[in-house]
Structure 1
């Protein structure tokens, strides 16, 4: 369950506040699915991938914004 919620929260990364929760739930979901052999492994994997992509996007956006100000 946490893998699916993490996937949704990571997908909503344009809101910025949901990314850390999506990453946390993605890693938590990955560990849960690995130990219990549940079927949420792809959701957990993509929650982590999307979360880190949004982190990179927001860091690049911040750096470009700061570059413009200089």
Structure 2
């Protein structure tokens, strides 16, 4: 369950506040699926990937904005 919620929160990365929770739930979902208690490994994997892509996007956007200001 946490893998799916993490995937949704990572997908809503344009809100910026949901990304850390999505990444955290993605890692948590990955450990749950590795323990064999739940299914949802692909959701956990893509929650992590999508979350880190949003982090990279926001960092590049911030650096671009600061570059323009200088």
* TM-score normalized with structure 1 length: 0.97
> What is the alpha-carbon distance in structure 2 between the residues aligned to residue 36 and residue 24 of structure 1?
19
1:1-70 alignment to 2 at 5 Å? 1-70=1-70
> What is the alpha-carbon distance in structure 2 between the residues aligned to residue 42 and residue 32 of structure 1?
12
> What is the alpha-carbon distance in structure 1 between the residues aligned to residue 51 and residue 17 of structure 2?
11
SS at match of 1:6: helix
Cα shift at 1:38: 2.6
Deviations along 1:9-67, whole A, 9 cap, x unmatched? 00000000000000000000000011025320000000000000000000000000000
Q: Following TM superposition, where does structure 1 have runs of at least 4 consecutive aligned residues deviating by more than 6 angstroms?
A: none
Query: How many residues are aligned here?
Result: 70
Unaligned runs of 5+ in 1: none
Q: CA RMSD, aligned part only?
A: 0.7
> What is the alpha-carbon distance in structure 1 between the residues aligned to residue 38 and residue 11 of structure 2?
21
